[in-house]
Amino acid sequence: MKTTIKEQYLVSTFFTFFLVHSSQTGLALLGFQDNISKNAQQDAWVSVILTGIVIHFILWLIYKILDEKHPDLMAIHHYCYGKVIGNCLSFFVLLYFLLQSLTVFWGYIEIIQVWVYPTLKTWQLGIVLGILIYYLVSGGFRLLTGFSFWGVVLPSFLLILIYFPIKYAKTTITLLPILNHSIGDILLSAKASTLLFLGFEWILIYYPFIKDANKSQKWAQFGTLYSTILYLIITLISFIFYNQEALQHTPWPTLKMVKIVHFPFVERFEYIFIFIWLLVIISPLCISIWACTRITRRLTRIPPKISLFVFLIMIVTATTSTKDFRSVEKISTITSEIGFYFIYTYIPLLFLIKHIKMKRNKSF
């Protein structure tokens, strides 16, 4: 198996910031507040910070796992478990990534249908989005990095919109009392906010595509830090804007907040917001599917274009197969559950196994 990538396909080290950050932001940002405040209520912002800190640690673990000899997950699996079991595990990771991309794909189409085009059919949107993703992913990892860069820079002007909810929220009393919840509640909320940060684990796949990858940890950590700060701001603002009772009955709190934005020349700003949000989600969506094709390529001899086509067909058909809106929520819950155990259990485990193996090899 060849693991070294040609120089011309590598991306600069500092793009790791944008890759990690853009993989973390996504669809979840539009409506996570109701989930995370279920247990810890107004104290859930503590949970966001807590999760952020743990994610920093997990990222550090990932950088410990990866090294020059074993620059990606498939190589690590081979090293730790041997060829057969390693490949099986890699295949399971592929399924998990595929599930992640399905969640985003499906979730975005649902938002488009609920908010903007109630009459448009799922398959129409699915096919258009599918063709777009095929076009972008077939351009290779460098192109996707470009999207992750511009997907962070361009939509950052949306942050100005924070002004509007602050203008309407006259009081900060909804944040009080501070820290009157048990640690258990806060941890449960922290678990719920893990979904926000999922996506950074794709670095296990694209690590060899980064120039001087071992020096990129700084940027990756900064990316995570920026995500944490961003989520913290949005959490605090939505806690100021809504009271806890209302928050529990609001499906997409962020979008609802955008609804109050209006300018003399434009109303219903959430339409524009949702459209621009495609810029934000397209890079995590494409990178997750790209990661699937990359794993396939490393495990089998199937050319990426074919596997990409097959994955997209699978995603589009899965999206169009059911008309039940609940199924998006179900699949998102399953994904975040799997993701939760993947990063908090499997990655530390992998770290341990690899280090035990390294030590044993050294002692011989």
| 212 lines the binding site for another protein (CB under 8 A) | no
What residues numbered 88-127 form the site for another protein, per CB under 8 A? 112, 116-117, 120, 125
Instruction: Give me the long-range contacts of 105-109 (CB less than 8 A, separation at least 24).
Output: 105/129, 105/285, 105/315, 105/319, 106/318, 106/319, 106/328, 106/331, 107/27, 107/328, 107/332, 108/27, 108/277, 108/278, 108/281, 108/285, 109/319
Residue 263 per-residue DSSP state: B
Q: Which is nearer to another protein, 109 or 204 (CB)?
A: 109
Q: How many residues bind another protein (CB under 8 A)?
A: 32
SS3 of the chain: helix, strand, coil, percent, to 5: 80, 0, 20
Strand partners, 266: 263
Q: CB 206 → another protein: shortest distance, Å?
A: 16
CA distance 356 to 361: 9
Burial of 150 (0-12, 13-18, 19+ CB in 10 A): middle
What residues numbered 135-194 form the site for another protein, per CB under 8 A? 135-136, 139, 142-143, 146-147, 149-150
Helix (H, G, I), strand (E, B), or coil: what is residue 266? strand
Q: Which is nearer to another protein, 54 or 143 (CB)?
A: 143
Q: CB 155 → another protein: shortest distance, Å?
A: 11
Encoded one letter per residue, x for contact with another protein by CB under 8 A and - for no contact, window 247-266 reads ---------------x-xxx
Q: Determine contact, residues 213/67, Cβ cutoff 8 Å.
A: no
Q: Which is nearer to another protein, 118 or 177 (CB)?
A: 118
How many C-beta atoms lie closer than 10 Å to residue 77's C-beta? 23
What residues numbered 343-362 form the site for another protein, per CB under 8 A? none
Q: What are phi and psi of 73, to 5 degrees?
A: -60, -40
Q: CB 327 → another protein: shortest distance, Å?
A: 22
Q: Which is nearer to another protein, 116 or 356 (CB)?
A: 116
| 337 lines the binding site for another protein (CB under 8 A) | no
Pick the stretch among 56-64, 244-252, 272-280, 302-310 that binds another protein (CB under 8 A).
Answer: 272-280
Encoded one letter per residue, x for contact with another protein by CB under 8 A and - for no contact, window 277-306 reads -xx--x------------------------
Q: Determine contact, residues 81/313, Cβ cutoff 8 Å.
A: no
Q: Which is nearer to another protein, 138 or 248 (CB)?
A: 138
| 206 lines the binding site for another protein (CB under 8 A) | no
> What Cα–Cα distance (Å) separates residue 287 from each residue in 207, 259, 330?
12, 30, 23
Q: CB 136 → another protein: shortest distance, Å?
A: 5
* CB neighbour burial string for 280-301, b if at least 16 within 10 angstroms, e if fewer: bbbbbbbbbbbbbbbbbebbee
Pick the stretch among 81-89, 128-136, 207-215, 335-343 that binds another protein (CB under 8 A).
Answer: 128-136
Q: CB 117 → another protein: shortest distance, Å?
A: 7
Cis peptide before 264 (omega within 30 of 0): no
| 309 lines the binding site for another protein (CB under 8 A) | no
| 330 lines the binding site for another protein (CB under 8 A) | no
Sites of contact with another protein (CB under 8 A): 12, 112, 116-117, 120, 125, 128-129, 132, 135-136, 139, 142-143, 146-147, 149-150, 262, 264-269, 271-272, 275-276, 278-279, 282
